[in-house]
Structure 1
Amino acid sequence: MLKEFKKFALRGNVFEVAIAVVIGTAFTNIVNSLVNDIIMPVIGVLAGGTSFKFLVLNIDGVSIRYGSFFQTAVDFFVISFSIYLFIKLFNYLRGRESVPLKESPHPNKEVLTEIRDLLKEEKVSKVKATEEERSFKVRVK
């Protein structure tokens, strides 16, 4: 049993995951510091010296902490953007520039295009038939 555990623990994937967790934790601390210590104070100064964390709306004894929500939303966007930049940097350093995503064609695109064109033709022919009908009615009267 000890040999199996040693074999499991010394596999490459376990070490890679452990390293990823440690780096992820450190990265989270850096991004949280960036948001809490740099970005939010600047936004607070621009908004009139208000700290968003403590903005509260009291309605009938219920506190709605919308400032905390705003803080969390900013955290999310900064973290998402930071991860995006980190992945681009990582791919660049590995020598693999990120390739822009192409729109993959729908497997039935040709069929759908034909159906669309047929519907347009049918609509046009119905309009022409209606105009001819009106014209005929006017001549008959």
Structure 2
Amino acid sequence: MLKEFKNFIMTGNVIEFAVAVIMAGAVGLVVNGFVNDIIMPIVGHFAGGMDFSDLKIVLDAAVAESEGVAAKPENAIRWGAWVNAIINLIIVGFVMFIIVKAYNKMKKPAAPAAPAGPSDNDLLTEIRDLLKK
């Protein structure tokens, strides 16, 4: 059983999948950094200097004790974080579109199909006709 597991793990598909998952995590960090550190400040600048991630609708305010420690945390709908997630999704989709488009452009075009010759039935018919003569 251990040998079968080793053979399964060492197949090309599993290794390629593992590499793809690791690369996807790294690309996700880069895209999140790009969105949060570059795009959102620009969007916030044109939106009057606001930071979308802080926008929320407070349903229940936080209750603090005498030392400033929160006895009950704030309950809020964080719609600004959702806007950030939507912008992140759009950017990731666009980046993936560009990557797939570049990959398809780099792929070698498929070899042209060989010209179709006569079928077996055509050859047999021709042989029959020649034998009749």
| TM-score, length of structure 2 as denominator length | 0.64
Q: Please give the residue correspondences for 1:112-127 in structure 2 after superposition, counting only pairs within 5 Å.
A: none
Residue type matched to 2:102 in 1?
L
Aligned to 1:11: 11
Over the aligned positions, Cα root-mean-square deviation in angstroms equals 1.8
Deviation at 1:57, TM superposition (A): 2.6
Q: What pairs with 1:75-94 in structure 2 (closer than 5 Å)?
A: 75-94=88-107
**1 CA distance for matches of 2:39 and 2:25?**
20
Q: Structure 2 CA distance, aligned partners of 1:6 and 1:60? A: 54
Q: Flag the structure with more relative contact order, 1 or 2, with Cα contacts below 8 A and sequence separation at least 6.
A: 2
Q: Which runs of 5+ in 1 are unaligned?
A: 97-141
Paired with 2:48 and 2:99, the residues of 1 have a C-alpha distance of 33
1:59 Cα offset (Å): 5.3
Q: Percent identity?
A: 39
Deviation at 1:41, TM superposition (A): 0.6
TM-score scaled to structure 1, two decimals?
Answer: 0.61
Partner Cα separation in structure 1 for residue 99 and residue 105 of structure 2: 10
1:64 aligns with 2:60: no
SS in 1 for 2:82: helix
Tell me how far apart the structure 2 counterparts of residues 63 and 54 of structure 1 sit (CA, whole Å): 11
Q: Which has the higher helix share?
A: 1
The ranges of structure 1 where at least 4 consecutive aligned residues each deviate by more than 4 angstroms after the TM superposition are: 59-62
Q: State how many pairs are aligned.
A: 96
Partner SS for 1:49: coil
Instruction: Give structure 2 stretches of 5+ with no counterpart.
Output: 62-74, 110-133
Instruction: Output the amino acid matched with 1:82.
Output: V
